[in-house]
Structure formats: structure tokens, C-alpha cells
């Protein structure tokens, strides 16, 4: 019998890689909480109808990517593993009466999402997103704020070669006219379009612009631009967003073919794209969805948000070898019965007063333990042998200089601030 492997399109995130994930999460958490965004955690599975209504039947996600199954038991109903986070967040917003609190709600979430796709680099069946939703504001500043926050997160992580593509998909009235223009444009080419786009021609022609088929993309190059179909209000909103981005020093590229082709998506649509990712280049996708809350049974509520794909982000960070700094203060080595027992005790006390450390449990020769101390990334090594155990002392060796000193365990535990200062100084070097 063979061993059981992780399923196609899923993967383990091993400890060496998890450090990148934790780094991204802590940077995002920090920036979001300083911007008054509150975390929300919604279930990983929801009623299938939520996504059918919330994402739209004519989309790839609902059409062919959802993991859907029947619940067990008597009252069978259809369940779907969430393919994205917005529908669940909006369901929760309505269900929990957050709209009744008035004002603007700023939410963020992170977690796994599930889509049945052909796995490749940066495209998996279980993948992860961090996302934000701002509910209750139609102000162009809300659009600009969410874009600025995404930019801040990516910049703080040190990412380069990113570009912001932006477009407006207008309001439903603008789109109605644009829709007809697209049908008129694409119909003569209909036999050359990919199969999906052919069915979209009547159902949702905007989505043809989103096709990944090469010939369809070529044809779409000369399609009419939505920007020529925006009404006065839509144009004004879009101009404001662009002006605010300019004021914020965020450069962008207009991309009239960037669409989120659903009825409840309105106005701003944007993507942050990396030149370093190959085919799966979009790191962040977002936009305004003024119609969604109402579509899901809530009151008319304007909203805007985005989602960042964490696999693609961590691939970029690893490519840049932009590793988070190691943070271990001490590596503790010991040998001999008494010393080993004391080392455990000392480690526990040091942890309790706020130091980070790794205790070597091997019991092997000092030489081997020192080699591991070197690899651990710790700032200093603490050494306990028979002599130290006897005298209640400890040897402290600074890893960078190999300088060594012997001090009483009491001094080590007592002069916390002094050690902290020295270690932090060395960490920043």
C-alpha cells in the first residue's frame, strides 16, 4: 500500500515557508488595525445559494469552480466551500444587523478559499486570501483608502515591480448601454471566440473582456471602451478616485478591459499585478460592489473591497529572498545530568520574563550542540556544563563575535532590561 499524499491543488506550508506567511499576516494585521479595520471570521462553508446569488451564475467561479456537496441527515441542502470571502462577510453583515449600527463598517478577513481549478504555480484548489470590505460609504475616498492600504501592505513587505490597473465599470444603467455595444462588436466574431465567451455573448458580454483565451483577447483589444459609456455621476466618481490616488502618490494605469462582470459590481475595479509572477500575475483584485448587499437581501449599502492572494504574495517574497528577520534571543546548550535539569529550568524562567529561546534537547556532545546554535539564528548561546551547574552560573556567548563571559544565573535573570537592550541592538545590525 502506498502512502497517502496531499490532494492535487493543495499543499502543506512547511515551517521554513510559514515564516513568510506569518510576516505577511503581521504586516497586514498591523496596518489594518491602525486603519480601524476589524477582523471578521466567517464559516468556511456556506449555503450554495449565497455564492450563486452573491457571485453570479455566469461567472467561472459559480459555473465551474465551486466545491459543492449535499449536507448529511434528513433535511438535505446544498453546501459550498467558500470560493472567496466577500459573500460570507456580506451575509454576516446583514444577518448580524451591522447595517443597523449605522455609519461605515470596515472589515477584514483571512483564511483558506476553495476553487476547482487546474493547479499550476500560484493557482491552487485550496488557496488563501487576505481581504477587506468597507461597507456603507459611496465616497471616492473609500475606494482610495482601500487601494492605499493594499499598496501600503505590499510596499511594507518590500515588493517591487508592481503596477495598479484600474477601470470603472460604471453603474447598471451605464452598463446596459455598454452591454449592447459589446454585443454589436463581438457578434461578427462569434465563431472565433472561445466556447465560454460564445455563451457569454448573450448572457454576460462584459465577461468576454476577462477571457484568458488568446484569440478572444486579440479580438477584445479593439472592443469599445466602457469609459466612453460612463454617465456623468459615474465619470465624476471615477475622476475623483483617480485624483485622490494621484494626491496619495499612487501611480496607476487605466485598463478599460479590466472588468468584474457582475451586475452588482459598480464603478471602480482594480488589480495589482506583478511583473515577477509569470502567468498568474494578479496579486490583488478588488473594486466597488454597491449592489451586493441589496442583492443578498440587505438594505441598499454601497461597498468597496479587495482580496490579496497569499500564495502569489509569498512566492514573490521568496523569489526576492526577502526573509523576515530571525528573532530568537538565546540558544541554550547543556550537558551532564545536573546541567541539563538546570538548563530546562533556566529556559522556562527566561521565557517567562519575555526572552525567546530554543533549548537543545539532544544530550549530544557540546560541539554538535554549538553547530546547531550557529544555525539557529539566535543572538547568543547560553552554555551549562558540570562546572556551571555546580556554581549556579552560565556561560553567555555572543554568536556574532564569539565573545564569551561567565555570569551568575541570578544576574542573567535579574538584569533583564540590560540584556534586552544588548540583544535588540545586535538584532538590528
Q: Binding of ligand ATP at residue 123 (CB under 6 A)?
A: yes
Instruction: Quote the cell numbers at residue 113.
Output: 478559499
Question: Any binding-site annotation on 115?
Answer: yes
Size of the site for ligand ATP (CB under 6 A): 17
Closest CA to 361 of 350, 352, 372, 351: 372
Question: Any binding-site annotation on 288?
Answer: no
Closest CA to 80 of 66, 90, 92, 93: 66
Of 283, 316, 373, 384, the one binding ligand ATP (CB under 6 A) is 283
- b/e map 342-359, b = 16+ CB within 10 Å: bbeebbeebeeeebebbb
Question: Any binding-site annotation on 84?
Answer: yes
- Positions 284 through 343 that interact with ligand ATP (CB under 6 A): 284-285, 307, 309, 311-312
Q: Binding of ligand ATP at residue 129 (CB under 6 A)?
A: yes
d(CA 258, CA 166): 7
At residue 389, φ and ψ (nearest 5 deg) are -60, -40
Question: Any binding-site annotation on 240?
Answer: no
At residue 167, φ and ψ (nearest 5 deg) are -155, 170
d(CA 365, CA 112): 44
Between 283 and 296, whose beta carbon lies closer to ligand ATP? 283
Between 123 and 179, whose beta carbon lies closer to ligand ATP? 123
Q: Binding of ligand ATP at residue 54 (CB under 6 A)?
A: no
Question: Collapsing DSSP states into helix, strand and coil, what is residue 73?
Answer: coil
Question: Any binding-site annotation on 93?
Answer: no
Of 28, 32, 82, 84, the one binding ligand ATP (CB under 6 A) is 84
Between 156 and 282, whose beta carbon lies closer to ligand ATP? 282
Closest CA to 176 of 145, 133, 205: 205
User: Do residues 208 and 200 lie in contact, with contact meaning Cβ atoms separated by under 8 Å?
Assistant: yes
| Binding region for ligand ATP (CB under 6 A) out of 70-78, 118-126, 226-234, 418-426 | 118-126
Q: Which residues bind ligand ATP (CB under 6 A)?
A: 84, 115, 117, 122-124, 127, 129, 280, 282-285, 307, 309, 311-312
Annotated binding site: 84-86, 115, 129, 133, 260, 264-265
Amino acid at each position: 500500500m502506498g502512502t497517502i499524499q496531499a490532494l492535487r491543488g493543495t499543499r502543506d506550508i512547511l515551517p521554513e515557508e510559514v515564516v513568510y506567511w506569518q510576516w505577511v499576516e503581521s504586516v497586514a494585521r498591523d496596518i489594518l488595525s491602525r486603519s480601524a479595520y476589524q477582523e471578521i471570521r466567517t464559516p468556511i462553508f456556506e449555503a450554495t445559494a449565497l455564492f450563486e446569488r452573491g457571485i453570479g451564475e455566469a461567472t467561472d467561479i459559480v459555473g465551474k469552480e465551486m466545491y459543492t456537496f449535499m449536507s448529511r441527515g434528513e433535511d438535505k441542502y446544498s453546501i459550498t466551500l467558500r470560493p472567496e470571502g466577500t459573500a460570507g462577510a456580506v451575509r454576516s453583515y446583514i444577518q448580524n444587523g451591522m447595517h443597523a449600527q449605522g455609519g461605515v463598517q470596515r472589515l477584514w478577513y483571512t483564511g483558506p478559499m476553495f476553487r476547482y481549478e487546474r493547479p499550476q504555480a500560484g493557482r491552487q484548489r485550496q488557496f488563501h486570501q487576505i481581504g477587506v470590505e468597507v461597507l456603507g460609504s459611496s465616497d471616492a475616498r473609500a475606494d482610495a483608502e482601500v487601494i492605499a492600504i493594499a499598496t501600503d501592505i505590499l510596499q511594507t513587505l518590500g515588493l517591487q515591480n508592481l503596477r495598479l490597473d484600474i477601470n470603472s465599470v460604471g453603474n447598471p444603467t451605464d452598463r446596459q448601454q455598454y452591454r449592447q455595444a459589446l454585443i454589436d462588436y463581438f457578434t461578427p466574431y462569434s465563431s472565433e471566440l472561445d466556447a465560454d465567451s460564445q455563451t457569454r455573448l448573450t448572457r454576460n458580454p462584459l465577461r468576454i473582456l476577462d477571457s484568458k483565451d488568446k484569440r478572444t483577447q486579440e479580438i477584445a483589444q479593439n472592443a469599445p471602451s466602457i469609459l466612453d459609456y460612463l454617465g456623468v455621476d459615474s465619470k465624476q466618481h471615477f475622476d475623483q478616485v483617480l485624483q485622490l490616488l494621484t494626491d496619495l502618490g499612487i501611480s496607476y494605469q487605466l485598463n478599460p478591459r479590466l472588468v468584474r462582470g457582475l451586475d452588482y459590481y459598480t464603478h471602480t475595479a482594480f488589480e495589482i499585478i506583478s511583473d515577477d509572477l509569470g502567468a498568474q500575475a494578479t496579486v490583488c483584485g478588488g473594486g466597488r460592489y454597491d449592489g451586493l448587499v441589496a442583492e443578498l437581501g440587505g438594505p441598499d449599502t454601497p461597498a468597496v473591497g479587495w482580496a490579496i492572494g497569499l500564495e502569489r504574495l509569498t512566492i514573490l517574497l521568496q523569489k526576492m529572498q526577502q526573509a523576515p528577520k530571525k528573532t530568537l534571543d538565546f540558544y541554550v546548550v547543556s550537558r551532564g545530568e545536573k546541567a541539563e535539569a538546570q538548563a530546562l529550568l533556566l529556559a522556562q524562567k527566561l521565557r517567562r520574563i519575555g526572552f525567546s529561546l530554543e533549548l537543545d534537547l539532544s544530550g549530544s556532545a557540546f560541539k554538535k550542540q554549538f553547530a546547531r546554535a550557529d544555525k539557529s539564528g539566535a543572538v547568543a548561546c547560553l552554555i551549562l556544563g558540570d562546572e556551571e551547574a555546580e556554581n549556579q552560573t552560565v556561560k553567555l556567548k555572543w554568536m556574532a563575535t564569539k565573545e564569551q563571559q561567565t555570569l551568575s544565573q541570578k544576574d542573567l535573570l535579574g538584569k533583564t532590561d540590560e540584556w534586552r537592550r544588548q540583544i535588540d541592538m545586535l538584532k538590528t545590525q
